[in-house]
Amino acid sequence: MANKKFIWAGILVMVLVFGMALVACDSGSSDAVTGTWTDGEENITFSDGDFEFTELSGIKKLKGSYSLNGNDITLTPAQYWGPFFIYLNLSAKWYSRSDLVSIINASDLNMAFTPITGTVSGSSLTLRWNGFEEYYTKK
């Protein structure tokens, strides 16, 4: 009888250890664009539904969210890095559309906050924004 209890206790311990291992594993939310892409002048880093553009020198530019639908991607700009606007002499922090409108008294910042669309295929990413097309490769 004690032998059966020992066997069941051993099985229970193995089930618990296996369950804890599954819970502890990070599934690592990853998709076709997760990682860093470059066009030779700037980088785009994608992670968990967010993106950030930076120049190769490290100067931040803009960030926002993205969504994928098959091979189609849509980036929605949300904030710009102040020093990116050299002529405005802004502080080193992120500025939303409403922040920029209040600073530069411009009600029409549509171009800066227009969604960016594109396609991803393997290690190639094509983005289209305000009539321009840019090509990126995954690092």
Q: In 3-state terms, what secondary structure has residue 51? A: strand
> Is 125 a domain residue?
yes
pLDDT of residue 4: 44
> Is 128 a domain residue?
yes
pLDDT of residue 28: 44
pLDDT of residue 130: 84
> Is 130 a domain residue?
yes
Average pLDDT over residues 109-127: 93
Within 25-133, where are the H helices?
97-104
Condensed to tens digits (0 to 9), the pLDDT of residues 18-47 reads 333 333 333 445 688 999 999 999 999 999
Tally of structural domains, the chain: 1
Condensed to tens digits (0 to 9), the pLDDT of residues 53-107 reads 999 998 999 999 999 999 999 999 999 999 988 888 899 999 999 898 888 766 6
CATH number of the domain enclosing 125: 2.40.128
> Is 96 a domain residue?
yes
Per DSSP bridges, beta strands 116-121 and 72-81 are antiparallel
pLDDT of residue 63: 97
> Distance between CA 44 and CA 36 in Å, rounded?
6
Host domain of residue 71? 35-138
> Is 60 a domain residue?
yes
Q: Which amino acid is at 87?
A: Y
Comparison of pLDDT for 110 and 115, the residue scoring more: 115
pLDDT of residue 61: 95
Per DSSP bridges, beta strands 132-138 and 124-129 are antiparallel
Which candidate, 46, 72, 67, places its Cα nearest to that of 138?
A: 46
pTM: 0.74
